[in-house]
Amino acid sequence: MTPKIARFLRDNAPATPCLVLDVDRVEEKYRAMRAALPLARIYYAVKANPGTPILERLVKLGSSFDAASWEEVQACLAAGAQPDVISYGNTIKKVSAIAAAHKAGVSMFAFDSIEELEKLARHAPGARVYCRILVQNEGAEWPLSRKFGCELEMARDLMLKAGDMGLDPYGISFHVGSQQTKTAAYEGAIARVAMLFTDLKEAGVKLRMVNLGGGYPVRYRAEVPEIDDFGMAIMGAMTKHFGNDLPEMVVEPGRFMVGDAGLVSSEVVLVSRKGAADPVRWVYLDIGRFGGLAETEGEAIRYEIRTPHDGAEDGPVTIAGPTCDSTDTLYEKSNYRMPLKLACGDRVELLATGAYVTSYAAQFFNGFAPLKEHYI
């Protein structure tokens, strides 16, 4: 929690549940990313948090943007971004969205299949295209696995075809999975990309760009490597495989840029037990899976939770949301403990919830309003 957020909570006691996010912290993270990888261009993955004040600050800092939809492209443009710094990074795009983005001046698109490449050739002629390859997601707490990307061999064929189809075969991308805690994941992926560069060069296509995707982690309950560790591992692998012929480098951090810039302030609705002798209390909050905490699915992302009684004697808890749906249970197996004094009405803070929360919130499920957002 930044001092600015602590002051805001103390002075305003905003209605819960709400996200409070310190935009200065986003700037700090942007600068840290720059420092860790000075040769890479930063394309902020808008889906992590599309809040306008975040986009506007990043525009001011000279960031580029990775958009997942035409709506996100529009959000970047509205925040003042030039179309030539926007990459349309989703490999699954509606034809109407491709055409609209192309017309707006977006000139860089991702794909991972011949079918998508044909759509791009028709509706975004001349665009710079990059192919996403499948890579290992081991070490990622929120893996993206097989939904995106194609095999190396297919990528090679597609990049060979792209030029003949009137597109500019620009580069290769990958994503090692979100909340990736192992630097080796990037090293392994870069080795695969380098093989492809060599292959294609021999076949007469000189690629110019490597897109290293996102994945850079945020500290939740457990320590993670520093961004400088990722920077060093990535640059080490790049120079090992490309030598003096370094291609342009792109990174697409989402979670890293906004995760620990924000927190969710919530209220305890009920503390109860399922049996008089049951040691485990159930703590129900006014936010849950449907209020935006989608990444608690499978207890994948385990947020740190602050209570007003921290330090006092505690006991085991199961933590759940307020809706009438049993999947709206956040943590049952992750050994959460909370103070025995915790009671209905207490205010608790879920730390480092600036990424992948507001945009996942449901619309009025059970009548609950979408999460309120305060950007300070």
Asked, as a colleague might, if the bond just before 339 is cis with ω within 30 of 0, I would say: no
Interface with ligand PLP (CB under 6 A), residue from 178, 265, 323, 353: 178
What DSSP element (H or E) covers 142? strand 140-142
CB of 57 to ligand PLP, least distance (A): 17
37 or 285: whose CB is closer to ligand PLP? Answer: 37
Cβ-contact 141, 178 below 8 angstroms:
yes
How many residues are listed for the chain in this entry?
376
CB of 219 to ligand PLP, least distance (A): 14
How far is it, in rounded angstroms, from Cα 72 to Cα 58? Answer: 14
Asked if 253 is part of the footprint of ligand PLP (rule: CB under 6 A), the reply reads: yes
51 or 322: whose CB is closer to ligand PLP? Answer: 51
Asked if 256 is part of the footprint of ligand PLP (rule: CB under 6 A), the reply reads: yes
* Contact stretch for ligand PLP (CB under 6 A) within 72-80, 253-261, 307-315, 327-335: 253-261
Instruction: For residue 15, report the phi and psi dihedrals to the nearest 5 degrees.
Output: -60, 140
Interface with ligand PLP (CB under 6 A), residue from 21, 46, 63, 66: 66
Asked if 215 is part of the footprint of ligand PLP (rule: CB under 6 A), the reply reads: yes
Cβ-contact 77, 104 below 8 angstroms:
yes
Helix spans in the chain (H): 3-12, 23-36, 52-61, 70-78, 95-104, 114-123, 152-164, 184-202, 227-242, 255-258
Q: How far is CA 224 from the centre of its chain?
A: 16
Number of residues this chain uses to bind ligand PLP (CB under 6 A): 16
Closest CA to 185 of 224, 129, 155: 224
Active-site hit among 76, 150, 324, 344 = 324
Interface with ligand PLP (CB under 6 A), residue from 72, 252, 295, 346: 252
CB of 187 to ligand PLP, least distance (A): 17
Asked if 216 is part of the footprint of ligand PLP (rule: CB under 6 A), the reply reads: yes
CB of 339 to ligand PLP, least distance (A): 32
* Six-digit token string for 307: 């209570």
CB of 48 to ligand PLP, least distance (A): 5
Cβ-contact 266, 287 below 8 angstroms:
yes
Residue type, position 62, single letter: G
Cβ-contact 59, 79 below 8 angstroms:
yes
Binding to ligand PLP in span 281-340, by CB under 6 A: none
CB of 172 to ligand PLP, least distance (A): 13
* Contact stretch for ligand PLP (CB under 6 A) within 44-52, 200-208, 331-339, 361-369: 44-52
On the 0-12 / 13-18 / 19+ scale of CB atoms within 10 A, 4 is middle
Task: Note if 76 is an active site residue.
Answer: no
How far is it, in rounded angstroms, from Cα 178 to Cα 32? Answer: 18
Instruction: For residue 373, report the phi and psi dihedrals to the nearest 5 degrees.
Output: -130, 130
* Contact stretch for ligand PLP (CB under 6 A) within 56-64, 251-259, 301-309, 346-354: 251-259
Q: Which residue is nearest to ligand PLP (CB)?
A: 214
Asked if 354 is part of the footprint of ligand PLP (rule: CB under 6 A), the reply reads: no
CB of 203 to ligand PLP, least distance (A): 26
Interface with ligand PLP (CB under 6 A), residue from 34, 57, 102, 175: 175
On the 0-12 / 13-18 / 19+ scale of CB atoms within 10 A, 256 is buried
Asked if 213 is part of the footprint of ligand PLP (rule: CB under 6 A), the reply reads: yes
293 or 317: whose CB is closer to ligand PLP? Answer: 293
* Residues in contact with ligand PLP by the rule CB under 6 A: 45, 47-48, 66, 89, 175, 178, 213-216, 252-256
Q: Looking at the annotation, which residues are catalytic?
A: 324
